[in-house]
Amino acid sequence: MTRTIAAGSLTLVGPGAGVRRFGRGAPEVTVEIKDRHLAQKLALAPDIALGEAYMDGSFVIESGDIYDFFDLCFANFGHGYGHWLWRAGAMARRMQKRLARSNSLSAAPDEISAHYDLSDELYALFLDSERQYSCAYYLTREDSLEQAQEHKLAHIAAKLLLRRGQRVLDIGCGWGGLALYLARVADVEVTGLTLSQAQCDYAQKRARETGLDNRVRFAVQDYRKEAERYDRIISVGMFEHVGYGRYSEYFEKLRALLVEDGVALVDTTGSAAGPGAGSPWIEKYIFPGGQVPALSEISAAVERAGLYATDIEILRLHYADTLRMWRRRFKDNWSRIAQIYDERFCRMWEFYLASCEAGFRHSGLVDFHIQLARRIDAVPLTRDYLYRTSI
């Protein structure tokens, strides 16, 4: 541990009043461990045990906060999955998920509901006003969350090459902000699909309030049951729920739903460190069935489906900055969220937001924008269209 912490210092205060210090200099993080059995739990299941200890109050940050702890550790551990034992464990978990075949038609609604059907007020307390629960797009580090999310919507709209009157499918439409934006700025008809009843109800309400319900339709429906064909398809933050063994099924369905000259855009969290497995703690407590794909896995499935990858953009630190803003807003509204749920829930979500932010800064997590088409000539020869002032 002493050699591992090369930058900054970590002080551990044990349950028996023992103190151990690793590294030296700033940043300095001090942790109090109140459970004398935590070391054993960490040895047996480190990914689960640390998060549970923080949730239960037996792993307490005395100096700094939980993000500072992750930032210190991840910055020193470096890019990717680290030691070969960790990589082996990640690959074993990945194989187990393949065998489990998550995201089946029967299981998918429950997996989505577990996260997205939480209190409606919860998401309003830390997301932007349009409830964009995905990576924002920062033109400068000084952009507010609202500005960065507006930039993201415009960037996606440009990549879709929208024309008035086109039919657009939004797979995993969330609270409807993107669908409503596309209908408003491009005068297109949008169908938004979600597996969350709470999200669908909110999106339908927003469509009525904004007078766009004649051009935007929302439904609780699995994308695999959709039969219509569309000029454009957009999917933001949904591919992480598809499942390792279902990538080919997903892209084959996208191809079937696209008209011959159609264009699709898939926006997904991804791993720049190659195929592996996500955090078991996050899958258990935050995103049941959620998985982080590598570009190599996505590309192979795209090729098998007979689609062209017409543009790929990798957003690196944009999601880290997005999570930083979410985490700050969450902490600003901690007392209200604790009233809705409890302190343990707040610590759980703080752990989730902080660990993800550090992961995007240090551990190879990125955001992929993958533009797809059935025909090689479906999009312009150059990328100039992405930077026009209007669509």
- Indicate which residues carry an active-site annotation: 356
- Does an H or E element contain 42, and which? helix 38-44
Asked if residues 229 and 253 have their Cβ atoms less than 8 Å apart, the reply is no
CA atoms within 13 A on the CB side of 273: 20
DSSP 144-185: -HHHHHHHHHHHHHHHHT--TT-EEEEET-TTSHHHHHHHHH
**Distance in angstroms (rounded) separating the CA atoms of residues 55 and 68:** 17
**Distance in angstroms (rounded) separating the CA atoms of residues 320 and 315:** 10
Structure tokens at 217: 């339709």
**Distance in angstroms (rounded) separating the CA atoms of residues 105 and 343:** 34
Residues 6+ apart with CB under 8 A from 320: 357, 360, 361
3 state SS for 2-19: CCCCCCEEEEEECCCCCE
